[in-house]
């Protein structure tokens, strides 16, 4: 892998990208664009996968890219290139302008409002490159997998251990005078193994991710956790059809919040394709539920000083006391809805779900009898209607204790009812996701299983 950039090299690369964007915007103006925005990036990384003591893949990644969007009046054109030379830039601008001249006018299009653009840039500590040679990466994946395979005699096989490193920088600019860029990094290590007891086989995994390599869990810890999760699933039984309380473990509970966020995105709202249409100011959860966006967490996996349009991000409440207080809007979707952008072009930035005081163990004791879901399968979620149906696996709970693993069943309901039926949120936050939540306990859900 190429050496990680020194601070001086990194600054020089950022300055070069800034110059490129400045020239790109000027070229767009010369070609007749009344407005333009452009982004350029340089990225590199290393990916290594080992399985059963052998190296399966070693991949070095290095990419560059430039994207340009121009407006000629209310007509829009976009083009991109992986070549960031000046000649390729000019060709991309020409292509974008040609497209714009033939595009239909859109009264809601255009650059973001100038007064919403970021002018202050908090230091978020997002760049921690990992100067890792391939042999070192291989050693880490082997240590991870060996710890899993050696953990217990019933761990019989492996799907491998993988290590990924990433570092990159991106500069964004527009014809309103915005021009800024910064560097980021992201590193991860994962392991997946297979356990066997008699004729039965089960698999599970574990992974760790962070901006900085030293914040990752140790390879041996990742391997052992993958093995322990796999062993817990051996002896799984089919689950019969019923209705019962359900707790979603923290590492899958984020998906429930993710479906909610999808339902309040501007695109779904202005297309009228969401079950939460016209719910602003209405209760969608019990009164104890608080959901916030916090974009400026140092080293946060989704932290950013501005969104993909350059609009300043800000901490804000999405759900307060169970009431929907804010949609998730870009400038375009906000204009379509007659509202203001929330700084979410390109997505959300660190969603925090306020937890209760109970641990997962305490939630299980309070639930007494029901289902703990630890894996979800399939994509059976309809945002238009809120209908929810997904394959699942987990553990049956009796008298507040895990009784046995269960599988081969589907959980079903409607998200509107599921959100209203939220009983409690555990304090066992999963830090590996941009949606930070603990385990979520729902009062009742339908299970379609055997019998």
Tell whether pTM > 0.75.
yes
User: What residues are paired with 70 via a beta bridge?
Assistant: 36, 77
Average pLDDT over residues 101-109: 95
Q: Would you state the pLDDT for residue 379?
A: 84
**Tokens 């997998």 map to which residue?**
145
Q: Would you state the pLDDT for residue 1?
A: 36
- Name which CATH class applies to 7-231: alpha beta
pLDDT band at 378 (very low <50, low <70, confident <90, very high): confident
Q: What is the DSSP-derived secondary structure letter of residue 114?
A: G
Q: Name the token pair of 420.
A: 């209203």
64 and 92 Cβ atoms separated by less than 8 Å: no
Q: Say how many residues make up the chain.
A: 451
Tens of pLDDT, residues 137-193: 999 999 999 999 999 999 999 999 999 999 999 999 999 999 999 999 999 999 999
Tens of pLDDT, residues 7-31: 666 688 888 999 999 999 999 999 9
d(C-alpha 38, C-alpha 43), whole Å? 17
Q: Are strands 435-436 and 387-398 parallel, antiparallel or unpaired?
A: unpaired
The sign of the CA dihedral 205, 234, 443, 398 is negative
Nearest alpha-carbon partner for 268 in 104, 413, 380, 385? 385
What element of type H or E holds 396? strand 387-398
Residue 263 predicted with pLDDT over 80 = yes
Average pLDDT over residues 403-408: 95
CATH 3.30.2290.10, the chain: domain bounds: 7-231
Other C-beta atoms closer than 10 Å to the C-beta of 241 total 12
Tens of pLDDT, residues 187-221: 999 999 999 999 999 999 999 999 999 999 999 99
Q: Would you state the pLDDT for residue 12?
A: 83
């Amino acid at each position: 892998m190429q050496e990680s950039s020194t601070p001086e090299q990194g600054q020089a690369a950022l300055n070069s990208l800034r110059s490129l964007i400045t020239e790109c915007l000027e070229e767009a103006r010369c070609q007749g664009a009344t407005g333009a925005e452009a982004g350029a990036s340089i990225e590199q990384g290393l990916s290594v996968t080992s399985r059963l003591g052998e190296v399966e893949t070693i991949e070095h990644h290095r990419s560059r890219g430039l994207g340009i969007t121009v407006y000629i009046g209310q007509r829009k054109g976009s083009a991109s290139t992986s070549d960031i030379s000046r000649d390729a830039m000019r060709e991309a601008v020409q292509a974008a302008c040609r497209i714009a001249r033939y595009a239909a006018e859109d009264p809601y299009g255009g650059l973001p409002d100038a007064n919403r653009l970021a002018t202050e840039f908090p230091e978020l500590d997002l760049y921690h490159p990992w100067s890792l040679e391939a042999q070192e990466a291989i050693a880490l994946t082997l240590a991870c997998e060996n710890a899993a395979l050696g953990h217990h005699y019933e761990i019989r096989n492996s799907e491998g251990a993988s290590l990924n490193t990433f570092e990159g920088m991106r500069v964004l600019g527009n014809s309103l005078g915005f021009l800024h860029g910064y560097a980021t990094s992201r590193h991860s290590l994962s392991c997946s193994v297979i356990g066997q007891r008699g004729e039965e086989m089960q698999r599970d995994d574990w992974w760790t991710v962070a901006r900085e390599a030293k914040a990752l869990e140790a390879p041996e810890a990742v391997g052992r956790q993958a093995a322990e999760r796999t062993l817990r699933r051996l002896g799984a039984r089919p689950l019969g059809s019923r209705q019962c309380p359900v707790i979603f473990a923290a590492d899958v509970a984020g998906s429930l919040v993710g479906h909610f966020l999808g339902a309040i995105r501007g695109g779904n709202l202005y297309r009228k394709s969401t079950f939460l249409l016209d719910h602003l100011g209405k209760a969608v959860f019990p009164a104890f539920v608080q959901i916030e966006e916090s974009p400026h967490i140092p080293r946060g996996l989704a932290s950013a000083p501005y969104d993909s349009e350059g609009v300043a991000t800000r901490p804000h409440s999405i759900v307060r006391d169970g009431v929907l207080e804010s949609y998730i809007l870009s400038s375009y979707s906000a204009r379509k809805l007659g509202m203001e952008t929330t700084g979410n072009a390109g997505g959300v930035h660190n969603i925090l779900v306020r937890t209760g005081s109970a641990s997962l163990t305490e939630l299980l004791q309070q639930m007494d009898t029901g289902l703990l879901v630890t894996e979800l399968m399939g994509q059976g979620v309809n945002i238009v209607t809120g209908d929810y149906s997904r394959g699942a696996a987990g553990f049956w709970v009796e008298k507040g204790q895990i009784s046995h693993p269960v599988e081969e069943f589907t959980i079903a309901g409607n998200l509107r009812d599921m959100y209203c039926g939220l009983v409690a949120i555990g304090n066992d936050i999963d830090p590996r996701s941009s949606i930070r939540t603990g385990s979520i306990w729902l009062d009742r859900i339908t299970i379609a299983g055997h019998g």
